[in-house]
Structure 1
Amino acid sequence: MFDLGIPFKKMNGCGNDFIVVDNRDGLLNEVALSAFVQNVCRRGTSIGADGFMLLENSSIADFKMRYFNADGSEGEMCGNGARCMSRFAYHIGAAKTKMSFETMAGIYQAELNQNGVKVKFPDVQLQALELNQPYEWDGPSGVYHYGVVGVPHTVWFVENVFAIADDQLRDWGRMVRNDLQRFPNGTNVNFVERIDRQTLSIRTYERGVEAETYACGSGSTAAAIIAGILGHVDTSVNLLTRGGPLKISYHLSDYAADSVYLEGNSKLVAEGHLLPDAWSTMMK
């Protein structure tokens, strides 16, 4: 099976990296995807990535985006992944510069421009957010904010976020992500510092990757919206991630954050074929 390999492209958005495959012809339909993804996303022994994405046919949009975390679990969507998938779709002729795509979290729109890719999120209903929730632990803040923005996110406002030691941030993130009594589906954990009314710095421990990533698009979007609701920033804000800048903008009403846009780079860095040794450990 797959003697000639599986065509793929390697992409990243602000350092959040992905393996992307065109599955419109059902190339991977008979594959046990969870084990397959775990193996090809493993760094050192395979290509390595934070996530794996399939572009598939859709009856309600230009295409369907399926997103898998590095641990093999299928995620609802991914903001940085959405930008990469949009550029991939344009590159292979599956969409034009303006497009819509189906995800488990709903229909998204995207547009390619000279600055990168701009993705429009569905509205975020304010009543669905849980703000100013107390949390007893030895972490950097005793209060968190929670909401589903594509996927579940907690936001913790802290000081000097880039000064937090990597292992400390990982331990805090892992603790909160695995607090299944409070977050039954797990959660991404975003540590956010306010710089000024137009700027936030952010670091994210990602559920499914089970590590800090260079950037998280949906986490940055959640942070920007929550910071705006709390009055910390304006409704157009730059997010400084370890992998580069993201721009989030939205309109805030009494009921929802609408016209939510995430904009940032999308890099196509390599293409080739996944060969059997890339996933062969799943056969052992």
Structure 2
Amino acid sequence: MIPAIQSHGSKNNFIIIDEKDIQFTPSDQVRAAWTIKLCAETHTDGILFISDSNRAQAKMRVFNSDGSEASMCGNGLRCAARYIAERDQVESFNVETMKAVLKVEQVDELYGDIPTFSVEISPVLFDLASLPLKLADKSELILSPVPEWEKDCLYTALAVPNPHIITNVSVDMINSDSQETLATQFNGENKWFSDGVNVSYVVELAEGEFFVRTFERGVGFTNACGTAMSSSSLVQVLAGKWKAGEPINIFNDGGRVKCVVHGDQGQYDHIDLIGNATFTHIMALSLKENGDAQIVNNTETNEDETYDKMAEAAKEHLSAAAPDLKLRQNG
């Protein structure tokens, strides 16, 4: 029997598995098989595999619900950070991810007694080869139109290191099927994105407040995407709608977070993503070397009660700020 935890960051749901508890070393094919099966049964977005690192306190690998591996996940990193912090009795430390070693730390709660963590989102890359994205005669795409995509939109492409396309839109557009149509095209066979891309639509609510909805590659629409919310915050700084170094409030279908963009004069080195790390269930799993995975026990905690109060307060705020905005219920 393998202990595990079901968790969420902004209602972006994950199962945490510590590979120290597994008696054998699973292959990536087996990890993918476990992920597909367990995510389908629990309606979660992915599995966070925690292992030893010779570069940091621990290593986190993220497998999406379709079995593909993500290079990073900001909401997932908050959940992993809490697990590692409680396991090792530390408050501030580094976590190794696929492409970077990132700083994480426990910080003051955003609401009530919700466990809250700040995690580093980096590197910040604007060259299109980092996504990768092929656009004729362009090496960067920053607040620029792409007539073949959606007219009257200005797009920004960046990798953190997950690839993102960000655009600010009206409430009417985010309520339409525009985003799903575009993201489905980008994540199927297309001439621009060979590896797919996360697509975010952003609505400005008020000064320092924005709503972000993301279609994630390998997942689809989720309640929130940490690297997308971080990237979207940076785009607001680039557009002159907010200042680097100051917290920005980001609302999503799952609640809200804060982000802080670090850098100046067009050089941005990282973003702090600040939000909840909620443990919803304590699990026991049976994991086999052939890829079979069974849930032996799944006991609910009461942590979601406080988070739901924050999420409800966020919905009430959104209803007042953008009364016509239609929220999605994902997962």
The alignment's TM-score, normalised by the length of structure 2, stands at 0.75
Query: Which residue number corresponds to residue 150 of structure 1?
Result: 161
- Deviations 1:91-131, CA, capped at 9 Å, x for gaps: 222x5111101001201011112310001223525566521
- Give, in whole Å, the separation in 1 of the partners of 2:237 and 2:2: 44
Structure 2 contact 35–65 (Cα < 8 Å) conserved? yes
Q: Match for 2:37 among 14, 34, 39?
A: 39
Candidates 92, 98, 108, aligned match of 1:98: 92
Determine if the alignment matches structure 1 residue 256 to structure 2 residue 267. yes
1:181 positional shift: 1.8
Q: 1:29 to 1:281 in 2, by over 3 A?
A: closer
* Per-residue deviation, 1:258: 3.0
Partner of 1:265: 276
Correspondences of 1:1-284 after superposition (within 5 Å): 5-24=1-20, 26-27=22-23, 29-31=25-27, 32-42=30-40, 46-93=41-88, 96-115=90-109, 116-125=116-125, 130-137=141-148, 139=150, 141-160=152-171, 164-165=175-176, 169-178=179-188, 180-209=190-219, 211-235=220-244, 236-275=247-286, 280=292
For the residues of structure 2 that align with 1:72 and 1:8, how far apart are their CA atoms?
18
Distance across 2 between alignment mates of 1:248 and 1:218:
10
Q: What amino acid is the match of 2:97? A: T
In 2: Cα distance, 1:69 partner to 1:241 partner? 20
CA 1:179–1:59: 2 relative to 1, 3 Å: same
- Go from structure 1 to structure 2 and tell me whether the alpha carbon gap of 1:242 and 1:161 turns closer, same or farther (over 3 Å shift): farther
Instruction: List runs of 5+ in structure 2 lacking aligned partners.
Output: 110-115, 129-139, 295-331
Cα shift at 1:207: 0.7
Cα distance in 2 for partners of 1:7, 1:141 equals 50
CA 1:103–1:180: 2 relative to 1, 3 Å: farther
- CA apart distance, 1:185: 1.5
Deviation at 1:81, TM superposition (A): 0.3
The offset of 1:274, in angstroms, is: 2.2
* Contact map agreement 2:153 2:168 (CA 8 A) in 1: no
| Whole-angstrom distance in 1 between the partners of 2:268 and 2:16 | 30
Q: 1:273 to 1:118 in 2, by over 3 A?
A: same
Aligned length: 271
| Cα contact 1:127–1:255 (8 A) shared by 2 | no
The 3 A distance-change label for structure 1 pair 132 and 28 is farther
Maintained 8 Å contact 1:161/1:201? no
SS in 1 for 2:143: strand
Unpaired segments ≥5 residues, structure 1: none
Percentage of identical aligned residues: 26
- State the SS of the aligned residue for 1:34: helix
- Of 77-86 and 193-202, the range deviating more from structure 2: 193-202
Judging by fraction of residues, say which structure has more strand: 1
Bigger RCO of structures 1 and 2 (CA < 8 A, at least 6 apart): 1
Q: Give me the CA root mean square deviation.
A: 2.5
- Is the contact made by 2:145 and 2:151 (CA closer than 8 Å) also made in structure 1? no
* Structure 2 counterpart of 1:30, one-letter code: P
Structure 1 residues 208, 156: closer, same or farther in 2, change over 3 A? same
Aligned to 2:318: none
Deviation at 1:62, TM superposition (A): 0.3
- With structure 1 as the length reference, what TM-score do the two structures score? 0.86
CA contact (8 A) 1:204 1:216 kept: yes
Return the alpha-carbon distance in structure 2 between the equivalents of residues 25 and 6 of structure 1: 6
SS in 2 for 1:130: coil
